[in-house]
Structure 1
Amino acid sequence: MKEKINKVISKFSDLRKNNEKALITYVVAGYPDIDTSRLIIENLIEHGADIVEVGIPFSDPMADGPIIQKAFAHALEKNVTPDDCLKMINLIKSKYSQVPILVMTYSNIIFSRKDAKFLKTAVSCGVDGLIVPDLTFEEAENYLKVAEDLNLATVFLAAPNTDSKRLAKITSISTGFVYMVSVYGITGSRNQFEKYTFDSIRRTLTTTSKLGKPLAVGFGISSAQDAAKMIEAGADGIIIGSSLTKIVSDFSDDKSQMLKSLGAFIEQMKRVCKITN
């Protein structure tokens, strides 16, 4: 029986064949409400998003900056639950079955429900992989086994100062891609990036390329210029989150303008991902 290839892996492979980079978008489920967040995700897909990360609202999002924290708080005030988020993903997947969707959540949500049960439910709703920022590989043995059995892509984070030995381990257990944090600290837009970001991308690529894993860069990318610099440094994909959430916040009272602005921003970012040397 032929082994089923995960959609995240297939997407990077297809993009590579077309000499493109991956545009990965992050959306907070339930912000400004669950139905609108579904429309936002579908809109992003229609305008060029290759992979979608769906953030499940959590009360203590240690990796996230103020823009996403505020969105989480808003969603939690509306009593948005993990089950609501998974049901939303299921609806999206009924229309866009080939688009990889990752859940980005914190370990408490997974383990409080018993990881096997949560992951099985996620798979049944069309989730293709998970990103768990506060889960280290030292604590992930059972999670990795269950994920492998369910053909779920695993994505672990590497920082600019991650040493080579640890980076090799992170790369080896990341079956979807390695998520490189571009800056020290939390998510959020940046006015500029330091030289260490681009040096770190190039250094990290020596490990990820050797092990055949894609490298996607996130945290702080807020313009086409930022994206172009990450791609020029060698990134296989870029991850956009806080900038999208800010657009949602800025136009929360005008859904039509919100979707129009998000679509235009994604089209601009996707054009950068198609520019190759």
Structure 2
Amino acid sequence: MKLICYLSLGSPSLEQSKINAQNYIDAGCDVVEVDFPAKDPYLDSPYIQSRMAEALASCDDYSEYMKTIEAIKAKNPNANFIVLTYENTIREIGISDFIDFCKRNHLKDIICVGNTHPEVRKELISNDLLISTYVQYHLIPEEVEVAQNTNGFIYLQAKSGGKYHDEYKDLKSIIRHLREDVKISNPIYCGVGISTPDDVAMVKAAGADGAFVGSTVLKLQEKPTELKEKIVALKART
């Protein structure tokens, strides 16, 4: 199972992001999730919103974010990445420029947030980029239907947050339902609330293909030794 660690690009600076990414990779993180900070990150937590705001206050030129990702990729050609971006950010960058950037750097997996401009998602898919779909723990039918037709991985909520499906009430039964009944063959990565080695072990036991870890590593970026130790401990349970 893959360990996916979230890197808040540009927070506190783009130069520091290069160092943080290297620490992630050196510690054994399988996939680095990098973001283009959004000017209106309405679906993110207040903590992530504050990180994105800090990044944009430091640099609001998206071409510099592209250069930073290219530098990280150049130094780590075998490392794997997932790109998180809002559709409005892609529109600001320019859809064609964003697609060219992804293709040039062999970035296939994209988390594209938003559904106000469906032409963005359509254009990404038509250019062979793999677009993820988020599915909540209580299995909203509309989300499951979209997941059936997506070409990218499924981002499955790992913990309930108090809402449960009438029949599938734990992560293992949810994943089994998506695999066996819904016939989803795309990778299923679980996130939201994953912060401890036991959480990672739970996701693995449930049959997922990967676990997303976010704020628990972000908050250690100024403590590189502790950061690496945390990633090693999380990775050990995959």
Q: TM-score range by the shorter chain?
A: 0.7 to 0.9
How far apart, in 1, do the equivalents of 2:88 and 2:142 lie? Answer: 27
Take 2:41 and 2:32, find their aligned partners in 1: how far apart are those partners? 19
- If the length of structure 2 is used for normalisation, what is the TM-score? 0.86
Deviations 1:105-129 (A, max 9, x none): 1111112343233221232244232
What stretches of structure 1 of length at least 5 have no aligned partner?
Answer: 1-20, 185-192, 252-257
* Letter of the 1:134 counterpart: G
Match of 2:224 in 1: 259
Q: Is 1:168–1:207's contact at 8 Å kept on the other side of the alignment? A: no
CA 1:146/1:71 → structure 2, altered by over 3 Å: closer, same or farther?
Answer: closer
Letter in 2 for 1:82: Y
1:135 — aligned with what?
115
Which of 217, 220, 225 is equivalent to 1:247? Answer: 220
**Secondary structure of 2:226 counterpart:** helix
Contact 1:205 1:215 in 2 (8 A): no
- Aligned equivalent of 2:190: 217
* 1:13 alignment partner in structure 2: none
Q: Report the CA distance between 1:201 and its aligned residue.
A: 5.3
| Unmatched segments (≥5 aa) in structure 2 | none
The answer to whether the Cα contact below 8 Å between 1:51 and 1:99 also exists between their aligned partners in 2 is yes
From 65, 69, 72, the counterpart of 1:85: 65
CA RMSD in angstroms, aligned pairs only = 2.4
- Bigger mean CA deviation after superposition, 207-216 or 25-34: 207-216
Change (3 A) 1:70 1:124: same
2:158 — aligned with what? 182
Instruction: Trace 1:70-149 onto structure 2 (pairs within 5 A).
Output: 70-135=50-115, 140=118, 143-149=121-127
Paired position in structure 2 for 1:59: 39
Q: Distance in 1 between matches of 2:215 and 2:99?
A: 26
Could you tell me which amino acid in structure 2 is paired with residue 263 of structure 1?
A: K
CA displacement 1:86-117 (0-9 Å, x = unmatched): 11111111122222212101111112343233
Does 2:236 match 1:271? Answer: yes
Q: Say whether residues 1:47 and 2:12 are aligned partners.
A: no
TM-aligned CA deviation for residue 35 of structure 1: 0.9
Shift of 1:30: 0.7
Identity of paired residues, percent? 27
Q: How far 1:146 sits from its partner (Å)? A: 3.4
Report matched runs for 1:199-218 at 5 Å.
199-200=170-171, 202-208=173-179, 210-218=183-191
Question: Any idea what the Cα deviations from partners look like across 1:165-195, whole Å, max 9, x if unmatched?
Answer: 54143242132x10112357xxxxxxxx769
Any conservation in 1 of the 2:133–2:146 contact (CA below 8 Å)?
no
Q: Report how far residue 144 of structure 1 moved.
A: 3.5
Q: Distance in 1 between the 2:198 and 2:108 partners? A: 30
Q: Check whether the contact 1:216–1:239 (CA below 8 A) recurs between aligned residues.
A: yes
**What is the count of residue pairs matched by the alignment?**
233
Is contact 1:220–1:242 with CA below 8 Å preserved after alignment? no
* Distance in 2 separating the partners of 1:141 and 1:74: 29
